[in-house]
Amino acid sequence: MPCCGEARENTLDCPSGCQYRIEARKREKPRELHAYKIPHKEITLTEELVKENSYLLLAIWRALIGVASEHKTRDGDVLAILAFLQRLEIDQNNGRPRGRAFLNYLRQEFGVDFHSAAS
């Protein structure tokens, strides 16, 4: 059996609560981020935008954490599903700055009444 240190999160699925994984994460060096690898530079992200939409961000965070705690979910799985949602939004978007075509599509497709779901 391979060493946990060598195989951790490469060939071995480590549980979130694994003390070795938690300790190793504390010692990891941040990966170098290259500007050319950052997607969607055309979208302006500001602190104000994040603050105004913090309810949406928190809802997504909570949903991701909740699902990930019940299922074997990996970062790559999350990224793939977010990419799928993005492509779906691109397909359904009507191009208007204040449009809600994507949200309306989701409501129709999944039968969710946003007004009652929000309360």
* Residue 48: band (very low, low, confident or very high) from pLDDT cuts 50, 70, 90: very high
3-class secondary structure, 12:
strand
Question: Domain residues of the chain, as ranges?
Answer: 1-30, 39-118
- Residue 112 predicted with pLDDT over 80: no
* Rounded average pLDDT over 9-26: 74
Contacts with 93 (C-beta within 8 Å, 6 or more apart), sequence order? 99, 101, 102
For the cut 80, the answer to whether the pLDDT of residue 66 exceeds it is yes
**Number of neighbours of residue 100 by Cβ within 10 angstroms:** 13
Which one of 19-33, 50-64, 68-82 scores highest in mean pLDDT? 50-64
Cα radius of gyration rounded to whole Å, the chain:
19
Compute the half-sphere exposure of residue 59: CA atoms within 13 Å on the CB side of its CA: 6
pTM beyond 0.75, yes or no? no
